[in-house]
Chains A and B, each alone.
Chain A
Amino acid sequence: MPKFESLDHLNEYRRQLRARRDPAQPQVLVCAGPGCLPLGSEEVAAAFRAQMEERGLNGKVALKTSGCHGLCARGVRVLIRPQEIAYQKVTPGDVPEIVETTLVGGGVVERLLHEEPETHARCQHKTEIPFYRGQQSLVLRKLDVIDPESLDDYLALGGYRSLRKVFFEMTPDEVIDAVERSGLRGRGGGGFPTGRKWRICRDTEEPVKFVICNGDEGDPGAFMDRAVMEGDPHAVIEGMIIGAYAIGARRGYIYVRHEYPLAVKRLTLAIQQAREAGFLGKNILRSGFDFDIQISQGSGAFVCGEETALIASIEGHIGEPMPRPPYPAISGLFGQPTIINNVETWANVPEIINMGPEWFAAIGTEGSKGTKVFSLVGAIHHSGLVEVPMGTTLRQIVFDLGGGIPGGRAFKAVQTGGPSGGCIPAQFLDLPVDYDSLQQVGSIMGSGGLIVMDETSCMVDVARYFIGFLYEESCGKCTPCREGLKQLKKIYEDITHGRGEEHHLTLMEDLCAAMASASICGLGQSAVNPVLSTLKFFRHEYEAHIRDKKCPALVCRPLLTYTIDPEACTGCLACVRECPVGAISGVKKEAQEIDQELCIKCGLCYEVCQFDAVRRE
């Protein structure tokens, strides 16, 4: 890769790069995204490498391990381009057949094609699969096209071309103006207008400013940012260069959580490539603009996703938030004006410049422009990563894209916004999803986790889970959050252990009111959402726990009784071996029995029984 000294040099390189590439060349893209990696992407890619070597296809067929292909539930995913044949659930053992039938023979391996859950219809091409058909990809569009470790791949798709407009045709004010007119709002959750934030920072008189990319994706159930950082790292860097030029920053940080080692690796490599190519460093493309980026790794603290805590962490302190104002745009990192935007926000910026703010503003709703990436998981057929225009309804996302709920079970709720969000019941399925509509029903957009729950989920348990999570993660600096969460946690323990009392529900509402109004940062202020939304929409479940001492969804284990059905039990002793307290006994190959006095209701026997002989009620 040369160091680009000028725009002409870059354009000429890009022209030659494209001329060298044959669009008809067969390509195998093995997904190595967050979903497929644990299923064995590396082994599948290695099998392709070996087979292609054996069949003499090296040089004729390009093999790439790519970012997330989206439909994680059916991993490991393999996409054959240019035909866009989408294979699913590929194991190393399937590889010889794919190579033989598709790469050599030009045919299709039917059994590895996508199958719709209800109709059993097979879909050969990616675009025929309903999961993809309902999407509009701006941020994710390169993820199943490029090798994230190849700058050439990024350049061939027009990467870094926004810098021509930004450096040579636009003033910083015009860049901010474009971002403002696009209507882009922060994708990390708050939804603050990005352009306005940049304007506030630009207007400060301080000579030293910073830009930060918030990649501390801590919301459990969310992996959008991980997929973008791992799958298209240069898009984030390109966005940050534009932002830095707009506000006049010369140094940037990408704050990534250490639980995402691959994201750290890919971003580190991309920064190094961008430096070598001259997109970072001094006098970028002879524009006179200097800018560089370094990575700062999180050390495992959820609260560091909050911008003031994140800044404290980069400065070498514990992640305790500061009261705002002053906002970081006025006084941020090392006391200097600082712009912090989320990964997805940054990744949207280059395309807004390339295509123009009007193009972007034409997508979405009145108050929320563009698309939003969601990690769609939980009780759903097609778990994975989806990107839809703002304003798409929950029903479309859950049923059209997600394929609905498996096992014929009923939809109960969808949880958005992570621990700061709420649970939305079935009556709001036709709600168009945007920042404002979600807030109206007591939840938030958040960073984009969308967790679908069916009748087997207990909403009291879900709220208890989030409160437990937040209790662990609260930094402890301010009293309402620290003590409020502690008390809420205790009440939830009581309710789910059969010690709940009627007055608990009002007490919880009172605690929530105090926390929402008096906590320093978003963690405490929004911690009430999981509680209040479940109290509002699923109060009957709380009442069943408190009045009847029952968990209708059979989740809260202390309220359950485990017994063994003598008819179904084969006496295999799997449960006896698993029981941590020795409560199960009986003769081998005959029905076993649980001693209710000894049983601690851990449910491990239920879990390991292969014959559905353990009953719970």
Chain B
Amino acid sequence: MDAARLEGILSRYEGEPYDLIPVLQEIQDNYGYLPKDEVKEVARRLKVPLTQIYSVATFYKMFSLVPKGRHQVKVCLGTTCHLKGGPRLVDSLCSRLGVEVGYTSKDGQFSLETVGCLGSCAQAPVMMVDDKYYARVTVDKVPKILKLYQS
């Protein structure tokens, strides 16, 4: 465990139980997942039982207990995206990446997720790769988008 890296996060909080979620969010953003040793240290420092951290980490969608791929692919399945072909995008991505939703491709390049709504409904269907939005994505655009990230 990189103690200094975790300390950098923890030092910005008062160390109270109500700091739990923001601390976990920072670890998730920083490490890409919630590493076991770090989580144990958080439990000790915030005086929160490990079981509560587990319940929080598995309840909220943004947390992951396993490392994710290099690139996060998020397909919006909001109502408008659903109507305009979001589910077919998911099928296409699953088949191209060889993964199911919630998993990471074998080469560790892509993690595939679906999200409730990204709020760009006028451009449905929408997907995101890392922080970049892609508007009005049709199935035939999928390989071109993935190619931009394949190394």
Contact = CB atoms under 8 A, between A and B. Distances in A.
Say whether A associates with B: yes
Interface of A: 34-35, 37-39, 72-73, 75, 217-223, 226, 258-261, 296-302, 313-319, 375, 377-379, 383-384, 415, 418, 449, 451, 453, 457, 462, 465-466, 469, 473, 475, 574, 578, 580, 602-604, 607-608, 610
A259 B88 contact: no
Contacts of B79: 220-221, 377-378, 415, 418, 449, 451, 462, 465-466
Contacts of B123: 35, 38-39, 72, 75
B18 A316 contact: yes
Contacts of A226: 119
A179 B24 CA distance: 38
Given A39-B135, A578-B92, A318 B48 contact: no
Given A300-B60, A301-B61, A318-B59, A580 B122 contact: no
A603 B139 CA distance: 11
B92 to A, nearest CB: 6
Contact of B117 (A37, A222, A415, A607): A222
Chain B: number of interface residues, binned into ranges: 35 or more
Contacts of B105: none
A383 B122 contact: yes
Nearest to B126: A38
Interface string B85-120: 100100110010000000000000000000111111
Nearest to B124: A377
A317 B56 contact: yes
A377 B126 CA distance: 13
Interface in B22-76: 22, 24-25, 48, 52, 55-56, 59-63
A604 B139 contact: yes
A478 to B, nearest CB: 15
Nearest to B23: A316
A223 B61 contact: no
A258 B62 contact: yes
Contact of A221 (B52, B56, B80, B135): B80
Query: Taking each of A37, A261, A580, A607, which has the highest tally of chain B beta carbons within 10 Å of its own beta carbon?
Result: A607
A210 to B, nearest CB: 13
26 contacts: A35-B121, A35-B123, A37-B120, A38-B133, A220-B79, A223-B119, A259-B115, A259-B118, A297-B21, A300-B115, A301-B60, A316-B17, A316-B18, A316-B20, A316-B21, A318-B55, A318-B60, A319-B60, A377-B121, A383-B122, A457-B83, A574-B140, A602-B91, A604-B88, A604-B95, A608-B139
What 8 A-B pairs are tightest by C-beta distance, nearest first? A300-B61, A72-B122, A38-B133, A220-B78, A299-B60, A223-B119, A383-B122, A221-B79
Nearest to B82: A465
A473 B78 CA distance: 13
A319 B120 CA distance: 25
Given A296-B21, A377-B79, 12 more contacts: A35-B120, A39-B135, A72-B123, A222-B117, A259-B118, A259-B119, A298-B60, A299-B24, A299-B60, A299-B62, A377-B122, A580-B91
